[in-house]
Structure 1
């Protein structure tokens, strides 16, 4: 059985900057995945003030799905919708994804809080998913 993961980077104004689905692709569930992550944004905002860590672990559950979050110092939220609990590997995925996001932000041609449309960024995120999640 293959597991599906849905990853999103949400900007400071709650707009999606990047999204990707890994594993068994189920296009009909894409909008449900977006809805679940968007519904968890308030819980992420509440949880970030309870700790000084960037990785917030699982902040919400919906049926068999868990929502894990990582908040950058600039308040950009990295969120992952997943079925199984692999806290340490998810944390490692978030740390490396945050590093890729920082490298994108350092690009002088990238406008902050706009969608990331780089093919290189997308392929590197997919590589991280294969390394840690799949």
Structure 2
């Protein structure tokens, strides 16, 4: 069975800017994934003041799932719901996704804190997931 991942970029106003699922997903788990990640936002806010690092590792657990977080200097949160314990691979995934997000912010046609609907962005995130996570 393949590993499953749910990735979200959450803006400064706690609204999702981007969501993606990797690996095998069940339809009924989509909303549960969103709920678990959203519930972990308060823990991310607490953990970011305890560390100087952007990558906060695992900040929450739900049953067999872990929630890892990466907080950008702009307070945008990159969140990953996962089963596996692969801290280095997740850190590299977050770092590459943050760089990709920064390139999106530099686009004059992108409005900050609005949902990212670019198919190119989606394809690149999926490529990064295959490279680091799957």
> If the TM-score is normalised by the length of the shorter chain, which range does it land in?
over 0.9
SS of the aligned residue for 1:27 comes to: coil
Question: Within 1, Cα distance between the matches of 2:56 and 2:127?
Answer: 23
Question: Within 2, Cα distance between the matches of 1:70 and 1:104?
Answer: 17
Deviation at 1:27, TM superposition (A): 1.9
Provide the residue aligned with 2:85 in structure 1.
85
Provide the residue aligned with 1:52 in structure 2.
52
Alignment of 1:59-74 (within 5 A): 59-74=59-74
Question: Within 1, Cα distance between the matches of 2:130 and 2:3?
Answer: 12
Provide the residue aligned with 1:3 in structure 2.
3
**Alignment partner of 1:22 is 2:36:** no
What's the Cα RMSD here?
Answer: 0.4
SS of the aligned residue for 1:6 comes to: strand
4+ residue segments displaced more than 4 Å: none
Deviation at 1:31, TM superposition (A): 0.2
SS of the aligned residue for 1:9 comes to: strand
Deviation at 1:26, TM superposition (A): 1.5
Deviation at 1:25, TM superposition (A): 2.2
Question: Within 1, Cα distance between the matches of 2:111 and 2:41?
Answer: 23
Question: Within 2, Cα distance between the matches of 1:108 and 1:54?
Answer: 26
Question: Within 2, Cα distance between the matches of 1:53 and 1:124?
Answer: 25
For residues 30-82 of structure 1, the C-alpha deviation after alignment (integer angstroms, 9 at most, x for no partner) is: 00000000000000000000011000000000000000000000000000000
**Alignment partner of 1:40 is 2:72:** no
**Structure 2: tracts of 5 or more residues without a match:** none
